[in-house]
Every structure is written in structure tokens, then in C-alpha cells.
Amino acid sequence: MSNNTSDHLPAAPSDLTPDWLGAKLGHKIQSLENTRNIWGTGSKLFYTITYADATAETNRPEHVCIKGVFDPAMIAAQPWTVSLAQREADFFSKIAPALSGTVLFPRGWWAGTSATQGIVIMDDLTTSGCTFAPEVTSYPVALVLNGVEQLASLHARYWGQSEADHPWIWNNYDPAIKFMCGSWDDVVRQPGRHQLLAYLMDGARCNEALDRYFAERNPRFRTLLHGDTHMGNVYFAPDRRVGFLDWSAVHFGSCFHDVVYHMTAMLSVTDRRAHEMEILDRYLETLQRLGGPRFDRGDPEVMVEYRRSFMTNVIWLVCPDGLQSKERVAALCVRAVAAFDDHGVVDVILGQEKPGA
């Protein structure tokens, strides 16, 4: 798969022409049929391709998903979405080749960035029998166990590395979350939002905890993260393996970020409470087996960092309208609040001694 950093990339669906796509795929295209679109922080436009020649060439796609930022209103309201599109394009060109066969994600055919855009041309997974999570549901523990095994594979490959090793992977995740949490007090009091526990209504204290969570992550657990492992970013292969979509939040951070965010979103509160230590153990065992370090729950630093990492669920408490459906936000807010309360997340973070104190 090739990457081409360009001064200009299509900014609107009308710019996705047969000539443009054909140049990126290396084949002359006779026509494109836009079959459906999914609009969001990164819009996904689906096409069926008719090639100009009828050869038996197999190494070219007939059904593609073209992902980028094609909504000017979204860019105006959430300008950081461009950096997410650029990051995902960089993932497919710079990271994905090293992960092929170890982590399940869509096949990419081309990816490129410009100063104002990031575009990925990837397989349309619906044409190969893959399925996707509905807006609101919960899943069996077995699927989450497979999910954390996939994450352990990613984490083991990049364990202990940082932005110093990969300067282009600057942390675009923390600023985006802090931007959304800046209006905490207003958002959580909007009509129709899930009623939070009293201590979670205190925006100043929760933002202090968020700042300290980001600033004080234990470097023992640093690795490359998917960063956004909720149910909306997973799919299920025909063999029922869990694959991960939306690699726009890739960054370096604490490994438990991916693990707890995934399990909180995917499981009912009852199942998460009953099985989370089993899931954590499976993750740690797989991490070691695949070449990562050996950790276990007997290490106090493991459990402190694990509990602190539930702070990553904060997005569901303050998620702006339009980023996710109201149904998903409401359901995952319930799961996030339960996890916050079960693990005393805010108190754990604020109760730690500040570095250098």
C-alpha cells in the first residue's frame, strides 16, 4: 500500500472521481457507484467500482470505503477532526504493514494526507461478510476476551516506545478530550442527559482529575494505543474474531486505556463487574506471550494504573451532540458511571501524591 502526501486532496464527495480513484489504485476506472454514506467525525463513503478493462486481475478492489473529512460543518464545529483523519491515513501507510496478520483491521489500498485532509481507501467490509455493532447492545465475555487479545498484540509490538521513536505520532488525543471536557458543567446539565452522581457534576474537580490522569500516566505501561476501542469502532469477522476500525486516535499512552475502554463499552455493567479480572488476566497473559513484559494483579502499580485508566470513559459523560447517537451516548454513559463509581476513579487519581511533591 502506498502513501502520497499531497498539496491537495478531495474535500467534497464530488471530488472523488473515477480519474482520481483510478490514479490511487493504479487501474483505469470506467465508473463509480456511490452506494451509501456514513457521516461523522470521519465520513465513510462507499463505492462500487467498474474498471475499464475486464482482466482477471485479483489485486484490486471492487467495493471500497473512502474515509476522510468531507463535511465542512463538522470541521467548523470540531476542527481537530482533520488531525484525526490525517492520523488514520498515517496509520494505514506507516503502521498497518507491520501489524498485518497479527491485528485484525480493514485492508487499506491507499492512504495520503495534505495540510487540510487525510484520506484512506479501504475495503468495504460488508461485502466480505463482516458485521457491525448496532447503536446500543452488549456482548458476550468471549468476544471481549478476543478483543483484548488483539489489543495485546498491538501493544506488545510497540511496548516501551514513545513519540521519541515515532515523532509523527504526536498526541492528538489528549487535547481533543480536554477540549470536549472544557464545557463539562454546561453539558452534563443539558435536558435529556443521563443524571450523573453528585461528585461527577463537579466539572472543575473532574477536569483536574482528567489533567492529572493525562500528566501522570505510569511510563512502565506505555505503548502504542488504538485509543478509541468502543463498540462503534469494532467489527466482527465471519469467524467471529473482533476487528478494530477507526485508527484515527492512535497515540502513545497507558496500555490499560485500550483495555478498560473496550470492556466498559462492550459489556453490560453486570458482566463487566463479574468478569473484568478474567479479562485483565487474559490481556496480561497474552501480552507476555507475544513478547511484552510480565505483569500480574499482585503488582500494586498494575492495579493503580488499571483503575486510573477508567478515566478514559469520560467522553461518554460529556460527548457532544453529533459525534455519536444519543442512544449510544446514553447507554455507554450508564456503563461509564458505574465503572467510575466501582473503581473510585476520580479519588484514585486525585489521591495520588503529585510527582515531585
Neighbour count for residue 18 (Cβ, 10 Å):
17
**Domain positions in the chain:** 2-127, 130-351
Element (H, E) at 330: helix 326-343
Residue pLDDT, tens place only, 161-191:
999 999 999 998 999 899 899 999 999 999 9
* pLDDT beyond 70 at 2: no
Contacts with 310 (C-beta within 8 Å, 6 or more apart), sequence order: 260, 264, 336, 339, 340, 343, 345
CA distance 272 to 279: 9
- CATH number for the domain formed by residue range(s) 130-351: 3.90.1200
Q: 233: number of CA atoms within 13 Å, CB side?
A: 24
* pLDDT beyond 80 at 6: no
**To the nearest whole percent, how much of the chain has pLDDT over 90?**
79
CA distance 341 to 293: 30
- pLDDT for 135: 85
- pLDDT tier at 1, thresholds 50, 70, 90: low
Mean pLDDT on 53-80: 84
* pLDDT beyond 90 at 133: no
- pLDDT for 74: 74
Across all residues in the chain, what is the average pLDDT?
93
* pLDDT beyond 80 at 5: no
CA distance 274 to 263: 12
And the C-alpha cell for 244?
A: 478494530
For 2-127, CATH number out of 3.40.50.1220, 3.40.50.2300, 3.30.200.20, 3.60.15.10 equals 3.30.200.20
